[in-house]
């Protein structure tokens, strides 16, 4: 195991820095052959959730409730200016196959200053 980590560390540089700092800090575990194995530290994601995430979650929840079907695929189509300062977020949702349910819908979520104004659906092809 130590040989594998050492080989990866030489090849990537990143693991070398992480393994080196972990070993320097004394963070290691007992390997299967009794040798010390450096502990790798998982880094936190370097990005925040996109601004539309709140409305995407709402679009998925409301669509599942309206059509009684699961969601197979999800795509954010963008934010578009609406009437009187509102913003329309569009999501294309492909639904699980079910009798009487469309294959896909475009869900439009209109918001103004962080408040939900309305949710509309249009049936579409996947």
pTM confidence score: 0.61
Percent of the chain at pLDDT > 70 equals 64
CA distance 32 to 112: 59
pLDDT at res. 3? 41
Higher-confidence residue: 28 or 124? 124
Residue 123 has pLDDT above 60, yes or no: yes
Return the H-helix or E-strand segment holding 80: strand 71-81
Q: Please provide residue 69's backbone torsions phi and psi, each rounded to the nearest 5 degrees.
A: -135, 155
Residue 34 has pLDDT above 80, yes or no: no
Q: Are 42 and 32 in contact (CB under 8 A)?
A: no
DSSP 26-48: T-EEE-TTS-EEEPPPPPPPS-P
Burial of 15 (0-12, 13-18, 19+ CB in 10 A): middle
Q: How many residues does the chain have?
A: 126
The residue extents of the domains of the chain are 2-38, 53-124
């Amino acid at each position: 195991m130590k040989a594998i980590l050492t080989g990866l560390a030489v090849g990537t540089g990143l693991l070398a820095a992480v393994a080196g700092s972990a070993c320097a800090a004394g963070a290691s575990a007992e390997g299967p052959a009794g040798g010390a194995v450096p502990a790798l530290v998982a880094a936190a994601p370097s990005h925040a959730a996109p601004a539309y995430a709140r409305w995407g979650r709402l679009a998925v929840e409301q669509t599942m409730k309206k059509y009684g079907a699961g969601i197979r695929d999800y795509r954010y189509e963008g934010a578009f200016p609406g009437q009187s300062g509102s913003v329309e977020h569009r999501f294309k949702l492909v639904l699980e196959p079910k009798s009487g349910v469309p294959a896909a819908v475009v869900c439009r979520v209109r918001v103004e200053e962080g408040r939900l104004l309305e949710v509309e659906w249009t049936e579409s092809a996947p």
